[in-house]
Structure 1
């Protein structure tokens, strides 16, 4: 059952009702500001938006959606064009405008971002009874960048978190008793959604009746992202007995659900109580996992580095608490994150172990002393107290990956292909006329690189067996952003990223002479900006 309420005068919980409007306005303004001599206008009504779509994290069986059956409506927005429109999916994954009034047409040849969501719920929804399935409020969202001359593929992800419960009979409980059990999920029974964004309805605690999949013997329920610290999560009722499970808090002293993540619990019910095995944090589609080790002995440089490890001023590292790494990139951490080694000075946190396959930098001339590095670490603090410029407008430096034929690769839509931050930083230093010519006041001094390479190095010297600090590439900065919670939470020595913008050393592949790329923490995306724009912070990294 759904409850639809008039919420026109209710404040938007957490996110803010103004956010979708502001994002749309910013999209229009960004499109206007991005046009230059390389952008050509297109005839009105000649180049329609072409869309295909898939669900990137499929949900199996009747509970949610795993494929298009045809007739589903998705709501679509196009960067630079005011208003949203409705497209209809067919069973093959192709989308067409609902009617002539709902067709988007490209205005110019510049790239633009397309966002889509389904269902288009602009109301508060009661999710307390999911026994019949949850497809009606299984909010999917997708975003991609493309051009007028290509079909854009949208990979939809789930905005809600999914809870799965499997019951097993233990000592004193029969299979017949287990089949008669009642499972209840606790959490906010109301959700609020707009433009594909989901939040709890009123932050209250309530009961949710889950969907039961008889084939897999799983109880399943969707919940909005929310803080469940210290709160009961699951109740199993068998006869007159109730068994309640309250999750343990994580290293940061909290426990919460995140959108798009799957939280699976296998609960053995005994007459005397319950035993719970949790596998939390993976995406909805089940994936394999890599065991990093439950008990690990660390002895400085003789141990291979891991994501989240502390990196010290003497060039060594120590366990930061990573215990399991899933195939989808999700990480599990020690219940209590280890503290830094006494008497040592932490200067960074490892954010990638080993030499990344998309890093074309040669580290032979650095303190590493060989072509490939052992890993990458991010500084504990920003190098700037405010926004700074990137550098000279109108000069291409070659800070963009290329293929074998020398063609520039799209590091805007696919930032992970660009990990050569050290190589790009060296190109920027050369363009400035040397490290001593870098400065904070002139475009020719490449301020963003100055703050990373010179200013921050004066404050926090780097080890001799490292590269020294440099301005990260867009792939490196994007990785830090994506894993910011795992890297920074529970570690008192580090300051997390601001809800703001962070420069990379990468030039925008399409207009490399004029624009550089940055990561928007507040929007969770990659953007391009003019190099002379004073618009972003700097967070240095190093390789070791």
Structure 2
């Protein structure tokens, strides 16, 4: 609540009854001087700052870097929280991450977010892109080959660095790394990530599998928060569910064969038309498969 004091009472407390003026010193080094005769009253604001609620699985993540369980009026949803805290049990580390500027460490690592729409969507049609061109002698970008880890962010960095080293830049051409380009550059243009986040990246196979197996469905009927319920809440105008027909996605996880070459990469199937969806499989990198971005916050 706010308490209002007359200038006479306030100055009597702060500076003594004989004061003719008073000076306010602010924390940024500025000073403002007031004459008593010019001031009618002083308002002291005792209101507490609103408490920040910790994120939960299924929370809506917004363009301003905030989150909530229910839709917030005037805020723009851009993703859904699918894991809270760092996935240390899946080889990820807080120290791997910086904020979107690529330099600033996180103040606090809250968790992971999956985007609301495909990065490869165009005119309401979900198109596919290549992971990269086919090169029988290519030994890989240095991205992880472990299908069970959460290293999508560092994988994406390795792919981008390889593109810059070998091609001069990352772009959407088929002889470059279009899946990563769409997950990062293209989706950033369509849906900018908050400055406080990691920025968008191409998820690892383990992140997609975790999303499907652990948090997408409310399988036990407990009514607990889950990702599919949030997709339903957001409706078709705001989001496109992952679990739907022909829904297969590239991951940033590479496959390296026994000869040490890498012409295949892993994708994940959310395809609801299949008898048993929810699996990781490898396929030729020069195949057209969809892309869905993620970020850390």
TM-score of the two chains, using structure 2 as the length reference: 0.65
Match of residue 81, structure 2, among 322, 326, 350: 350
What is the deviation of 1:343? 1.1
Q: Given that residues 390 and 443 in structure 1 are in contact (C-alpha distance below 8 angstroms), is that contact kept between their aligned partners in structure 2?
A: no
Report the counterpart of residue 397 of structure 1 in structure 2.
141
- Counterpart-to-counterpart distance in 1, 2:160 and 2:140: 13
Matches within 5 A, 1:143-542: 302-319=52-69, 338=70, 340-357=71-88, 358-360=90-92, 362-367=95-100, 369-370=105-106, 373-384=109-120, 385-393=126-134, 394-400=138-144, 411=146, 415=147, 417-433=148-164, 437-444=169-176, 446-482=177-213, 483-485=215-217, 486-489=226-229, 490-492=232-234, 493-497=238-242, 498-499=244-245, 500-508=247-255, 510=257, 513-522=262-271, 523-534=277-288, 536-542=289-295
CA distance in 2, matches of 1:366, 1:436: 24
Cα distance change, pair 398–427 in 1 and its aligned pair in 2 (3 A): same
Q: Output one character per residue of 1:325-365: Cα deviation in whole Å (capped at 9) or x when no partner.
A: xxxxxxxxxxxxx3x11111111000110000124353453
Q: What is the Cα deviation at residue 537 of structure 1?
A: 0.5
Shift in Å at residue 452 of structure 1? Answer: 0.6
| Structure 1 gap segments, 5+ residues each | 1-298, 320-337, 402-410
Counterparts of 1:68-79 in structure 2, within 5 Å, are none
Maintained 8 Å contact 1:452/1:471 = yes
The 10-residue stretch of structure 1 (354-363 or 446-455) with the greater mean CA deviation from structure 2: 354-363
Q: Secondary structure at the match of 1:423?
A: helix
Alignment root-mean-square deviation, CA: 2.4
Deviation of residue 398 (structure 1)? 1.8
TM-superposed deviation, 1:372: 7.3
Is contact 1:443–1:532 with CA below 8 Å preserved after alignment?
Answer: no
Q: Distance in 1 between matches of 2:66 and 2:228?
A: 19
Q: Which structure shows the bigger proportion of residues in helix conformation?
A: 2
| Unpaired stretches in structure 2, ≥5 consecutive residues | 1-49, 121-125, 218-225, 272-276
Mapped partners of 2:206, 2:74: distance in 1: 33
Number of residue equivalences: 211
CA deviations 1:3-45 (Å, max 9, x no partner) are xxxxxxxxxxxxxxxxxxxxxxxxxxxxxxxxxxxxxxxxxxx
Task: State the match for 1:14 in structure 2.
Answer: none
Scaled by the length of structure 1, the TM-score of the pair is 0.36
Question: Distance in 1 between the 2:130 and 2:154 partners?
Answer: 20
Write out aligned runs for 1:59-74 (5 A): none
Q: Contact 1:364/1:371 (CA < 8 Å) preserved in 2?
A: no
3-state SS of paired residue (1:437): coil
> Hey, what's the Cα distance between the residues in 1 that align with 2:157 and 2:106?
17
* Deviation, structure 1 residue 441: 2.2
SS in structure 2 at match of 1:378 = strand
Deviation per CA, 1:212-261: give whole Å up to 9, x if none.
Answer: xxxxxxxxxxxxxxxxxxxxxxxxxxxxxxxxxxxxxxxxxxxxxxxxxx
Equivalent residue for 1:221?
none
